[in-house]
Structure 1
Amino acid sequence: MAIKQRKWFKWFLWGAAGVILMFLLFFLSIYFGLWGHMPSEKELKEIVQNEASEVYGTDDRLIGKYYLFDRQSIPYEEIPEHLIHALVATEDFRFYDHEGIDYKSFFRVFFKSILLRDESSGGGSTITQQLAKNLYQRRKYGRMGIAVNKLREMIIAKRIEHAYSKKEILTLYLNTVPFSDNTYGVESASYKFFGKKARKLTLEEAAVLVGMLKANYYYNPRLFPERSTTRRNTVMHQMVRYEYLDQGTFDSLRLLPVELYYTPYAHDKGIAPYFREQVKKEVEAWCAAHPDSTGKTYDLYRDGLRIYTTLDAEMQALAEEAMAEHLSGLQEQFEKSYGQRAPWITNKKMAEDALLKSAPYRALKERGWSDTKIMDSLSKPRRMELFDWKENHIVEGTTLDSIRHYLKFLNAGVISIDPHTGAIRTWIGGINYRYFKYDHVRQSKRQVGSTFKPIVYTTALEEGLAPCSYFSPKKVVYEEYDGWSPSNASGEEEENEFINYSLKYALSRSVNTVAVKVLDYAGISNTIAMAKNMGIEAPLPQVPSLALGTAGISVEEMAGAYAAYVNKSTPVKPFFLTRIEDRQGNILAEFEPEERTKPAFSSHTRQVMLEMMKATVNEGTASRLRTVYGLKNAMAGKTGTTQSNKDGWFVGLTPRLVTVTWVGADDHRIGFRSTRMGQGANSALPVFAGFLQRMNRDTTFNRYTNARFETIPSAVLGELDCDPKREDTFIEKLFGKKDRKKGAEQEDRKDRKKKKKKEGFFKRLFGKKKDR
């Protein structure tokens, strides 16, 4: 009997030794990387995770990200203590006592999870092991998967503990751990779910985030608020259990609801999407041209760049609100005015043209498909979501149906800049970036209408025209331009043929006939040169209709040009980048505004023009700013409307902000049905008005809203102190004018030329320059 026992014991020892040997060989195979790469301590010390690049506005307000993984890293000092306590109490209460492996938990997992394959027994992983799993994702090894992955993570965890301190491990863990909604790291999660930096998280908010770690979908507070609340309270109860929280505080906090300030940073959603797209383009261009010291090109989506801009996020939000409020109402009126006779319904060619430009058509064309095959594919009905101001609709329709739907929408371009530096404060490229990708601030160049007239008047004043000059509003036929004859937007002319308008009156009322005559006085080439000096780079036609704004110019360019009227006659180049930093905060590049020191025109001309544009607001085409919207701010401005009411413009000038607004349909063939609806004062001006009203209600913007224009010298005001209308004198009525057809101003121009010729003679004789 004893012999049998000894034999059994011997076999047992041999069996146990075999199992131990097999386990040892199995462990060594993992340790030496036979099941996959095992990082060394040196490699672990050099861990560099993909990080989102962040875009900041003024006051370091985060406004967007570019990423493959939504992750932002922060130092230990930026992590609140109660978040650390919540994590340790819930995930690894012996964290400070072990060196990467909690052996009590390990044996529980080994016998229950691995040998008995009881997955309900829990993971038992320490924070360090979880970090190892986050850094080096688990692989599939078949039936050996659990054992291989667990041992792999234990080995890596031990190496992490040798490479890093406990604080560093906690920091690395919280910067890499996945949270709900494809979010990585506590800083990104804090921004996404609570709209704040992690260091500002309250205890209960921190508990919500830690609660997600058990199952980030199941405990997603956005999708399952009740589950999230229960899990949050469990986390806080663990904090009480391990003496990180007192019972009284827990009792009060557990009754609070989970309140989110959900702020996703999707590319086509959120604040200023058109602006963020332009930032992306410029920074990518910078990255391509400026590799790091090793020659590596920066990656906007991986390298965690910090991009600082001039955009004011609060101001941008107000501008977007004002735009949406006005455009949604205007759209309804616009569609109602057309009814079933709308061109996007009746004009087949318009829809076909739009189809040929559409992304689906171009994508299939690039594959080599024939037009017949493409049309057959795009004509098949499918479920689609269509944008609408009130509520998006899910419908069954074809691609052509979708194109017709989007043809009808009015779009917008809005920009606000600091006129003294060119810093861009707001940028709205369209009504909804998800559905309308085309940017109407920079990409679009639309006819500017009467907003070009101030440039014409400025040129004429610089050419010697007196501020109190008068012009007849009567039509003139320009034979040399195929008998072209401009008319006024109202379609009315003064019945009294001897009445003349002052410059101030004509500009404030936007009288077309007078604007063309002022251009004739100033000279087309001189006016084009003035526009160039004011920063307009778009090609300008050398025709009299230039005075009426037939040139296509971007919203951005117009803002820079108009800045001259409140910036000592000097235009600015709008800009938005201030600096770029790497993930450690090292400055990679700093950007300064393009300095333009040469004034485009004299101070006297600027003061005269500013007074004329104040009159536009106080008594002219933009007077509804005062009468309808009740704005009492210091303002000047100019409305603009193009032919057939296709483009509505408004430029609003305040001492510290220049705002340009454009409204129209993407397809330039679609216009408003009436001037009453389509004029700039009705289509574009209300966006500026709503924007300024909102700023007035927020004391944050007092430096903008309470600012006042410079005091205009009495001498300049005196030059403008003349009747708005003047009747021809008795002699002029009796004898007429040599060229009544072209107007009295033609005689004034000839007199001016004679005077200049005479002045030139004296200049040559005495060598003196006239100081204008």
Structure 2
Amino acid sequence: MFRRIKNQYLRYFVIFIYAIIIFFCAIELNFLWLFGYSPDMNDIKTPTMSVGSQVYTADGKLIGEYYHENRSPVEFKEISPSIINALVATEDVRFYKHGGVDFYSFFTSMLSTAKGDKRGGSTITQQLAKNLFATRKRKSQGVFGHLPLVRTLVSKCKEWLTAYKIEHIYNKQEILTMYLNTVPFGNNSFGIKTATLKFFDKTPNEVTPAEAATLIGMLKATSTYNPINNPERSLERRNTVLSQMEKYNYLSKADYDKYSKLPIGLNLSYVEDDSHGDSYIREAVERWLKKWCKDNDYDLYEDGLKIYTTIDSRLQEYAEEAVAEKMKMLQKRFNNIWGNKNPWRDSKGNEIKDFVSKNEQKLPIYKMLVAKYHGDTTQINSYFEKPKRMKVFTWKGEQDTTFSSIDSIKYYARILNTGMMTIEPSTGKIKVWVGGINHKYFNYDHVNQAKRQAGSTFKPFAYLTALDNGYTPCDKFTDQPVSIKYTDEGREQVWEPNNADFHFSYQEMSLRWAMGKSVNSITAQLTEKVGWDKIVQYAHRVGIESPLKAVPSVSLGSNDVSVYEMVRAYSTFLNKGQKIDPLLVTKITDHDGNVIQEFTVKMEQVISEEVAWLMLYMFRGGMEEPGGTSQALWEYNGLWKKNNQIGGKTGTSSDYVDGWYMGITKDLVTGVWVGADDRSVHFTTSESGEGSHTALPIFGAFMEKVYADKQSGYTYGPFPKPWVKITKSYDCPSPRISTDTTSTDSLDMPVDTLNPPAIIPDVNPTGTGTNQQ
């Protein structure tokens, strides 16, 4: 047939057209599975919204879900013409003239891009095809999806085909309505109704042209032009949209002048229920799977996955109960100590006068107020001082009250929080995850998002370094003053740490006794002997990932670490010297139960089995040596049956800011941190603020509940016997002195070696009283 066409150029043109037709047919039919899925006419006629994913405990109980609950569809008649006009003028000015694909815009956009002015050429219908049918997702791609340039070409062709199908079935009004009901506006807002409510507390038919332009302007880049986080850029983008509306006669010149001079005018008072069964675990799973979802092109909020975690529902319940019981008591103790006085103090005990104003400036709304009032501090202060109705967290339940934003900041700054995690080292499975006292009001996760000074819970890494470099648990040092000279950033420094009680006994102590009693002076001497650089190396080796400043005080916990890291590192000792990558998820299936991915624990031998077992023996010293800082656990009668053994380490940072307890049983490792989110808020005495009085009781109450449940799978019993032959002397004779139970686990160092406050509570000033950090 082609030979009959004598004109060479016409023949080539016809061949080219035939090739295009065949190519599009191959895409539509997914020929030889080369091109992947394309939505057919039935898909177009009955489009399905995204299917959320579900998260389960290891024993099959639903923890939470991921879905766009705040996607509230509206009809065309419920949408302001200003929104429609802004959308068409900005995104697809020829919308009413094309049939789904605008080749004129496509080619002009290619020319603009070639000249360095990159702009998109997709129509509103094409964007709807992408939003509704995910035509560019990896799961929608065949063999050619692995070829970069071909993949892009096939995806674009799929969009064109899908857009034509959409235009064939739906009219222009229906297409606009579907688009506005599915498009994302950032801040987990999907659809125009959710966006108008969230940003302006209005329904879509009530917004002004300026408000419509702000929302449509966000579609170019929801983060960059977010009016809450980037008000200046949002204002600039809004005015660009308004100018487009004027250019295409959707807005008069007078109206453009009027609206372009207005401030953004957000109204953030709308409160929606979008908890989705929210919890610290649900968010931790989302963070844990973030890279996996990106690498495998899955969306937790749309792909209907079923995610099975390692969390034990029984242990999780017991942990949450223990936290509630003990934190309620701790908060009462804290309130009694401070009374009506403000607890935010510097290291000398002086009240921090600008505490509230600095916290105001950390709130997301502060930048918006500065822009709105042009830096007028009187008006900004007036906003923060204005009383509002809000719900607040209390240990007696959620309560309605009237607070100004300043009242709210002061109220939440006084509240103590916690982070707790339990792991089974032999399997690497995380059994318990408690990110705080109440996720609704304190959604910052204190297990792996927060990092705080570890205090004396970091000391074991110094003793580990010593044991792995020639020392034995029986080697002796004298509790006496220490002076260590070192160079830090080119300056000569001298470190002279005190014990927590500012007393030196001048007694000779074994390393096991010194660690069990948490003696700062001996830990400092040991640090000087083995080298603080080496201690940093060993801490990283067993599981600490945070950067650690190599200074002498490192062994007393001067660096910030997370509960997650500490539990992981301590697990190395119970796991025969093997470091683990903790497992939070074991399996992911699709909506029909077909397995997509299974996860297994990764282990690496980082210290010898002998040293690992000796460290467990050292940890038992906290209970067995005179003055051991774990001995408050004797109060928990439910822990001491059937020759049960528990090892652990308390920790307290300077000024009783952070309280820690790391507990080890024959099966589990648990880490607990207690403190206020702002480091200037803390207890005042060792009797109230040390880790043995704040974090340890949570561990004790938790393990009592675990042991009391015969179905938990965790029983009483002694620590394991040596896994290998122990070549170092360790069965040291007990010292013959009276037991001094005074805790000496707190950190004592020059103030300038401490890190500044990093976790400041962000209190929602809009009326909910919810911590937004």
Report the TM-score, using the length of structure 2 for normalisation: 0.59
Change (3 A) 1:269 1:566: same
Residue correspondence of structure 1 range 606-617 to structure 2 within 5 A: 606-617=612-623
Q: CA deviation at 1:533?
A: 0.8
Cross-structure match for 2:669 = 658
Residue from 425, 428, 433 that aligns with 2:431:
425
Change (3 A) 1:469 1:369: same
Cross-structure match for 1:382 = 388
Cross-structure match for 1:642 = 653
Change (3 A) 1:502 1:268: farther
Residue correspondence of structure 1 range 471-620 to structure 2 within 5 A: 471-480=477-486, 482-494=493-505, 497=506, 499-593=507-601, 595-598=602-605, 600-619=606-625, 620=628
Residue from 286, 290, 302 that aligns with 2:292:
286
Change (3 A) 1:363 1:387: farther
Change (3 A) 1:635 1:363: farther
CA contact 2:428–2:580 (8 Å) conserved in 1: yes
Q: Deviations over 1:5-40 (max 9, x none)?
A: xxxxxxxxxxxxxxxxxxxxxxxxxxxxxxxxxxx9
SS in 1 for 2:706: helix
Q: CA deviation at 1:607?
A: 2.0
Q: For residues 589 and 373 of structure 2, what CA distance do their matches in structure 1 show? A: 44
1:719 maps to 2:726:
no
Q: CA deviation at 1:712?
A: 3.4
Q: CA deviation at 1:713?
A: 7.9
Q: For residues 587 and 70 of structure 1, what CA distance do their matches in structure 2 show? A: 29
Name which one, 1 or 2, has greater alpha-carbon Rg. 1
Q: CA deviation at 1:392?
A: 3.1
Cross-structure match for 2:690 = 679
Change (3 A) 1:475 1:396: same
CA contact 1:500–1:725 (8 Å) conserved in 2: no
Residue from 340, 353, 376 that aligns with 1:348:
353
The answer to which structure, 1 or 2, has the higher relative contact order (CA under 8 A, 6+ apart) is: 2
SS in 1 for 2:648: strand
Q: CA deviation at 1:364?
A: 4.1
CA contact 1:315–1:695 (8 Å) conserved in 2: yes
Change (3 A) 1:519 1:404: same
Root mean square deviation of aligned Cα: 2.9
CA contact 1:268–1:433 (8 Å) conserved in 2: no
**Runs of 5+ unmatched residues, structure 2:** 1-39, 72-271, 346-350, 487-491, 738-773
Change (3 A) 1:631 1:570: same
Q: For residues 467 and 282 of structure 1, what CA distance do their matches in structure 2 show? A: 38
Q: For residues 331 and 729 of structure 2, what CA distance do their matches in structure 1 show? A: 44
Residue from 368, 382, 394 that aligns with 2:400:
394
1:627 maps to 2:638:
no
Q: For residues 434 and 548 of structure 1, what CA distance do their matches in structure 2 show? A: 34
Change (3 A) 1:517 1:284: closer
Change (3 A) 1:330 1:280: same
CA contact 1:641–1:679 (8 Å) conserved in 2: yes
Q: For residues 574 and 273 of structure 2, what CA distance do their matches in structure 1 show? A: 37
CA contact 2:55–2:65 (8 Å) conserved in 1: yes
Cross-structure match for 1:438 = 444
SS in 2 for 1:483: strand
Q: For residues 639 and 267 of structure 1, what CA distance do their matches in structure 2 show? A: 39
Q: CA deviation at 1:41?
A: 10
Letter of the 2:412 counterpart: Y
1:359 maps to 2:364:
yes
CA contact 2:65–2:276 (8 Å) conserved in 1: no
Question: Any runs of at least 4 consecutive aligned residues in structure 1 with deviations exceeding 6 A, and if so which?
Answer: 44-47
Letter of the 1:719 counterpart: S
Q: For residues 273 and 514 of structure 2, what CA distance do their matches in structure 1 show? A: 48
Q: CA deviation at 1:366?
A: 7.3
Change (3 A) 1:402 1:517: same
Q: CA deviation at 1:314?
A: 1.9
Q: Deviations over 1:143-167 (max 9, x none)?
A: xxxxxxxxxxxxxxxxxxxxxxxxx
Letter of the 2:66 counterpart: Y
CA contact 2:288–2:584 (8 Å) conserved in 1: no
Q: CA deviation at 1:554?
A: 0.7
Q: CA deviation at 1:588?
A: 2.5
Q: Deviations over 1:422-475 (max 9, x none)?
A: 211111111111111211111111110111111100101111113211111111
Q: CA deviation at 1:603?
A: 2.1
SS in 1 for 2:650: strand
Letter of the 1:337 counterpart: I
1:451 maps to 2:461:
no
Q: Deviations over 1:23-78 (max 9, x none)?
A: xxxxxxxxxxxxxxxxx99569977454331101102221111223599xxxxxxx
Q: Which moved more, 1:672-681 or 1:345-354?
A: 345-354
Cross-structure match for 1:56 = 56
The size of the alignment, in residue pairs, is 483
Letter of the 2:56 counterpart: Y
Change (3 A) 1:319 1:532: same
Q: CA deviation at 1:579?
A: 2.3
Q: CA deviation at 1:680?
A: 0.8
Q: For residues 268 and 434 of structure 1, what CA distance do their matches in structure 2 show? A: 8
Change (3 A) 1:332 1:362: farther
Change (3 A) 1:486 1:726: farther
CA contact 1:269–1:433 (8 Å) conserved in 2: no
Q: Which moved more, 1:562-571 or 1:709-718?
A: 709-718
CA contact 1:502–1:724 (8 Å) conserved in 2: no
CA contact 2:64–2:276 (8 Å) conserved in 1: no
CA contact 2:524–2:555 (8 Å) conserved in 1: yes
More helix by share: 1
Q: For residues 500 and 591 of structure 1, what CA distance do their matches in structure 2 show? A: 49
1:328 maps to 2:339:
no
Q: For residues 420 and 487 of structure 1, what CA distance do their matches in structure 2 show? A: 38
CA contact 1:578–1:590 (8 Å) conserved in 2: yes
Q: For residues 273 and 420 of structure 2, what CA distance do their matches in structure 1 show? A: 22
Q: Deviations over 1:639-671 (max 9, x none)?
A: 111111111100111122110000011011222
CA contact 1:629–1:689 (8 Å) conserved in 2: no
Cross-structure match for 2:715 = 705
Cross-structure match for 2:303 = 303
CA contact 1:308–1:577 (8 Å) conserved in 2: yes
Q: Deviations over 1:173-208 (max 9, x none)?
A: xxxxxxxxxxxxxxxxxxxxxxxxxxxxxxxxxxxx
CA contact 1:53–1:66 (8 Å) conserved in 2: yes
Change (3 A) 1:536 1:325: same
Residue correspondence of structure 1 range 75-86 to structure 2 within 5 A: none
Q: CA deviation at 1:575?
A: 2.6
Q: For residues 287 and 370 of structure 2, what CA distance do their matches in structure 1 show? A: 26
Letter of the 1:347 counterpart: I
Q: Deviations over 1:646-699 (max 9, x none)?
A: 111001111221100000110112221101111111100111111111112211
Q: For residues 460 and 717 of structure 1, what CA distance do their matches in structure 2 show? A: 15
